[in-house]
């Protein structure tokens, strides 16, 4: 170029995005993960220093860390996003004091938060709308039209275009792709966002009902939403209840899984019922905790117990009831797993 020899390199960084000769954006995703991880731990340090609430921490994550993750995602968002999704999940599990092995759908369910992939798809669709509706003399619009012709008429494989088409097809908007006409960018964006969220919620319900680790969780978790106890309880009680709800504990039903025991053999060792030592058993039926149950739990939990009462207890909005439930849970955990 201009009598200068251009060097052939494996990748080239331009405006924070790594362009590789292979067409892959793996280097970009690794770089963004590294930068986002630094931002995440910097945020965690400040949150602990200032004793910020969970809601405030999540809001700061959305404003300080997510923009790093999403940078340039309109271009590279069609590739595997697991490496970036793991940052968000790791942050949530840390602030809730959950084990990293806690199922992802449980974490999303407790906080009522959607995966990053949904936001990336929305950004890609918005970018596509700007290309279609934008100034036809712009270099980006000209390149898009050329790419589209090669994709539709000559069978050129464009992963980016194929991904855009799949988003529209999956959301029932194939006509928009076929006509290459965007009637309203705002309308398209809102429709795509709502349908992607609805699809994820359906996927979330499916994951919850087929997961063996959620047998008790689905008894009281009936809606995909932010659980009020997270903001209403003090941090001490909130962590106790959250870890118990999410299966991040050491009851027999969980420790037996670590030892690969069949579920039928993960029985309670504190009573003679031979029932499985899960959350429902210790809260509602274990005879070892009769006195504690009478002293700490509401009257409807003392006799003729059933699943409905179990759900009613965990769905309570009464702070006093939930704090007593946390005390009961703490007592159970100390007896099931003695100190030392």
Chain segment 246-298, per-residue pLDDT in tens: 999 999 999 998 889 999 899 998 999 899 999 999 999 999 999 999 999 99
pLDDT of residue 46: 95
Say if 53 falls within a structural domain: yes
Same domain, 106 and 167: no
The half-sphere exposure of 302 on its side-chain side, counting CA atoms within 13 A, is: 9
Say if 222 falls within a structural domain: no
- Paired strand residues for 209: none
pTM: 0.89
- The last residue of one of the domains, among 113, 134, 151, is 113
Same domain, 177 and 197: yes
- On whether the CB atoms of residues 336 and 250 are closer than 8 A, the answer is yes
Same domain, 251 and 331: yes
- Specify the DSSP class assigned to residue 6: P
Same domain, 297 and 326: yes
Same domain, 32 and 109: yes
Closest alpha carbon to 175 in 163, 165, 187: 165
pLDDT of residue 179: 84
Can you tell me the mean pLDDT for 208-234?
A: 92
Say if 220 falls within a structural domain: no
Is it the case that residue 339 has pLDDT exceeding 70?
Answer: no
Say if 51 falls within a structural domain: yes
Q: Give CA–CA dist 287/284, Å, rounded.
A: 9
Say if 200 falls within a structural domain: yes
Same domain, 245 and 154: no
Say if 65 falls within a structural domain: yes
pLDDT of residue 133: 82
What is the band of 338 on the pLDDT scale with cuts at 50, 70, 90? Answer: low
Same domain, 196 and 242: no
Is it the case that residue 340 has pLDDT exceeding 50?
Answer: no
Which residues have C-beta within 8 Å of that of residue 57, sequence separation ≥ 6?
43, 47, 95
Which tens digits make up the pLDDT trace of 176-219? 888 887 678 888 999 999 999 999 999 999 999 999 889 999 98
Q: Give CA–CA dist 112/226, Å, rounded.
A: 4
Say how many domains are in the chain. Answer: 3
Mean pLDDT of the chain: 91
- The last residue of one of the domains, among 59, 85, 113, is 113
Can you tell me the mean pLDDT for 30-43?
A: 95
Same domain, 85 and 126: no
3-state secondary structure at position 323: helix
Say if 3 falls within a structural domain: no
Say if 250 falls within a structural domain: yes
Is it the case that residue 134 has pLDDT exceeding 80?
Answer: no
What is the band of 337 on the pLDDT scale with cuts at 50, 70, 90? Answer: confident
Q: Give CA–CA dist 143/37, Å, rounded.
A: 34
Same domain, 17 and 43: yes
Can you tell me the mean pLDDT for 161-176?
A: 92
Same domain, 109 and 197: no
Same domain, 255 and 190: no
What is the C-alpha end-to-end distance of the chain, expressed in Å? Answer: 72
Q: Give CA–CA dist 36/34, Å, rounded.
A: 6
Same domain, 25 and 108: yes
- Any idea which of 60-74, 110-124, 180-194, 207-221 has the lowest mean pLDDT? 180-194
Give the residue numbers spanning the domain of 261.
229-336
pLDDT of residue 180: 80
Can you tell me the mean pLDDT for 151-157?
A: 83
Q: Give CA–CA dist 141/61, Å, rounded.
A: 34
Q: What percent of the chain has pLDDT over 70?
A: 99
Which residues have C-beta within 8 Å of that of residue 134, sequence separation ≥ 6?
140, 141
pLDDT of residue 7: 86
- On whether the CB atoms of residues 43 and 64 are closer than 8 A, the answer is yes
- The last residue of one of the domains, among 113, 131, 152, is 113
Q: Give CA–CA dist 212/220, Å, rounded.
A: 15
């Amino acid at each position: 170029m201009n009598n200068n020899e251009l060097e052939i390199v494996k990748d080239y960084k331009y405006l924070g995005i790594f362009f590789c000769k292979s067409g892959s954006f793996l280097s970009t995703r690794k770089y963004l993960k590294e930068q986002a991880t630094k931002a995440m731990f910097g945020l965690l340090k400040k949150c602990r220093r200032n004793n910020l609430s969970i809601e405030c921490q999540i809001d700061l994550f959305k404003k300080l860390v997510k923009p790093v993750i999403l940078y340039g995602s309109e271009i590279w968002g069609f590739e595997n996003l697991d490496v970036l999704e793991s940052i968000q999940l790791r942050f949530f599990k840390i602030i809730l004091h959950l084990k990293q092995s806690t199922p992802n759908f449980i974490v999303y369910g407790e906080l009522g938060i959607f995966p990053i992939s949904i936001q990336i798809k929305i950004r890609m669709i918005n970018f596509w709308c700007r290309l279609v509706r934008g100034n036809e003399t712009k270099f980006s619009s000209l390149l898009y039209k050329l790419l589209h012709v090669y994709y539709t008429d000559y069978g050129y494989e464009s992963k980016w275009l194929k991904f855009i088409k799949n988003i529209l097809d999956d959301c029932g908007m194939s006509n928009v792709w076929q006509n290459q006409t965007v009637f309203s960018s705002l309308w398209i964006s809102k429709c795509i966002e709502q349908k992607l969220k609805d699809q994820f919620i359906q996927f979330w319900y499916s994951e919850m009902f087929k997961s063996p680790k959620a047998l008790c969780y689905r008894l009281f978790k009936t809606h995909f939403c932010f659980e009020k106890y997270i903001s209403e309880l003090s941090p001490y009680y909130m962590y106790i209840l959250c870890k118990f709800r999410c299966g991040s504990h050491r009851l027999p039903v969980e420790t037996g899984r670590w030892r690969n025991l069949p579920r039928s053999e993960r029985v309670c060792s504190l009573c003679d019922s031979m029932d499985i030592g899960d959350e429902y058993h210790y809260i509602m039926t274990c005879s070892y905790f009769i006195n504690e149950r009478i002293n700490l739990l509401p009257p409807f939990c003392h006799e003729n117990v059933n699943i409905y009462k179990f759900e009613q207890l965990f769905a309570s909005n009464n702070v006093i009831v939930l704090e007593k439930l946390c005390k009961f849970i703490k007592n159970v955990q100390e007896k099931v797993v003695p100190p030392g």
